[in-house]
């Protein structure tokens, strides 16, 4: 039985710290996995699923590290203070911590939703990717997030012109309030520019999407993105898994089949 994770604060630049959870397997790890959470409230809705998946992977022999990015969860700073480059620096910080704890093992970067966009960079080293319902475009991710404010204002008839107003505020370097989160311009611009495109030395990609339909297929947009990864030399295996989109449900939901498929994919 895998023990409780090691919960600790990882020192970061400027005297800050990042909350981390390390799930150690019994024996020599088959791989080391870094989990990168989704954006804003999707992170909180996904915590239970992420925790269960981390434990399942550790039970299957994988070392897993979770990190709360700058301004998120119990890490230092406010959400409005964070930038995309801050989050990229956190990824490097977490990779270094994993290297120190697990020197000899292949590295997987596991991104859920917008977390996948964060993994798709050239890290100057071999990595594999585990994508859970990846967002293909940061521009689309930002628009979807800003639409949350539109939806909340629509009932009062105050949504007209609001999207352009928010974009103008962000372009001017000012933060905007959306669904209880104060989004800064540096994070918004970095997210908007992000793309789920292959970079660095080719490795493996496990691409898992959820659907509540029994005979669902990948969307043409996903298929096109996967083909770009394959054309760049990556070995990509894509699967549709039965389950609900837990990151967006009103109540905390689980997708057990996704965890089982993930363990099988990495093992």
CATH number of the domain within which 247 lies: 3.40.50.1820
Residue 83 and residue 11 share a domain: yes
Q: Where are the alpha helices (DSSP H) in the chain?
A: 41-59, 84-101, 114-119, 138-154, 162-171, 185-193, 220-231, 256-266
Asked whether residue 214 is domain-assigned, the answer is yes
DSSP-derived letter for residue 171 is H
Residue 100 and residue 11 share a domain: yes
Asked whether residue 216 is domain-assigned, the answer is yes
Residue 162 and residue 262 share a domain: no
Strands 176-178 and 235-242, bridge-based pairing: unpaired
Asked whether residue 1 is domain-assigned, the answer is no
Q: Which domain holds residue 65?
A: 6-136+200-266
Residue 114 and residue 50 share a domain: yes
Cβ burial 20-29 (10 Å sphere, 16+ → b, else e) = bbbbbbeeeb
Q: What is the pLDDT along the chain (267 residues), one digit of tens a residue?
A: 566 899 999 999 999 999 999 999 999 999 999 999 999 999 999 999 999 999 999 999 999 999 999 999 999 999 999 999 999 999 999 999 999 999 999 999 999 999 999 999 999 999 999 999 999 999 999 999 999 988 777 655 666 789 999 999 999 999 999 999 999 999 999 999 999 999 999 999 999 999 999 888 999 999 999 999 999 999 999 999 999 999 999 999 999 999 999 999 998
| pTM for this predicted structure | 0.95
Under 8 Å between Cβ of 142 and 66: no
Residue 113 and residue 245 share a domain: yes
Asked whether residue 167 is domain-assigned, the answer is yes
The count of other CB atoms within 10 Å of the CB of residue 157 is: 7
Residue 154 and residue 51 share a domain: no
The reported pLDDT for the residue numbered 113 is 98
The reported pLDDT for the residue numbered 4 is 87
The reported pLDDT for the residue numbered 97 is 98
| CA distance linking residue 131 with residue 114, whole number of Å | 10
Under 8 Å between Cβ of 195 and 91: no
The reported pLDDT for the residue numbered 1 is 56
Q: Which two tokens stand for residue 177?
A: 């309030």
Q: How many domains does the chain have?
A: 2
Q: Decide which of 168, 193, 218 is a domain's last residue.
A: 193
Q: Which two tokens stand for residue 25?
A: 């397997």
Q: Which two tokens stand for residue 264?
A: 């099988």
Residue 167 and residue 103 share a domain: no
Between 84-101 and 185-193, two packed helices, what is the crossing angle to 10 degrees?
70
| CA distance linking residue 247 with residue 48, whole number of Å | 10
Residue 160 and residue 115 share a domain: no
Residue 184 and residue 62 share a domain: no
Length, in residues, of the chain: 267
Residue 119 and residue 188 share a domain: no
3-state secondary structure 9-62: EEECHHHCEEEEEEECCCCCCCEEEEEECCCCHHHHHHHHHHHHHHHHHHHCCE
Residue 71 and residue 43 share a domain: yes
The reported pLDDT for the residue numbered 156 is 57
| CA distance linking residue 83 with residue 67, whole number of Å | 16
The reported pLDDT for the residue numbered 159 is 65
Under 8 Å between Cβ of 37 and 45: no
The reported pLDDT for the residue numbered 16 is 98
| CA distance linking residue 58 with residue 259, whole number of Å | 12
Residue 179 and residue 70 share a domain: no
The reported pLDDT for the residue numbered 8 is 98
63 CA to centre of own chain = 18
């Amino acid at each position: 039985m895998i023990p409780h994770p090691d919960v600790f604060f990882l020192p970061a630049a400027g005297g800050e710290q990042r909350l981390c959870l390390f799930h150690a397997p019994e024996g020599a790890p088959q791989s080391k996995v870094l989990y990168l959470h989704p954006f804003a409230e999707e992170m909180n809705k996904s915590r239970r699923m992420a925790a269960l998946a981390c434990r399942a992977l550790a039970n299957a022999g994988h070392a897993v590290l979770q990190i709360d990015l700058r301004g998120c969860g119990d890490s230092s700073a406010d959400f409005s203070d964070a930038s995309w480059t801050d989050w990229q620096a956190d990824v490097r910080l977490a990779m270094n911590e994993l290297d120190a704890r697990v020197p000899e093992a292949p590295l997987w970067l596991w991104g859920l939703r917008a977390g996948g966009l964060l993994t798709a960079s050239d890290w100057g080293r071999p990595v594999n990717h585990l994508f859970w319902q990846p967002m293909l475009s940061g521009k689309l991710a930002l628009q979807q997030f800003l639409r949350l404010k539109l939806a909340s204002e629509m009932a009062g008839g105050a949504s007209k012109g609001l999207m352009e107003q928010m974009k103008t505020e962000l372009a001017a370097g000012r933060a905007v309030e959306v669904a209880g989160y104060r989004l800064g311009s540096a994070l918004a611009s970095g997210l908007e520019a992000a793309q789920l495109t292959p970079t660095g030395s080719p490795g493996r990609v496990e691409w898992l999407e959820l659907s509540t339909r029994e005979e669902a297929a990948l969307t043409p947009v996903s298929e096109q993105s996967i083909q770009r990864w394959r054309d760049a030399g990556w070995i990509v295996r894509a699967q549709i898994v039965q389950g609900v989109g837990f990151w967006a449900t009103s109540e905390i939901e689980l997708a057990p089949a996704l965890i089982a498929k993930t363990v099988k994919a990495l093992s």
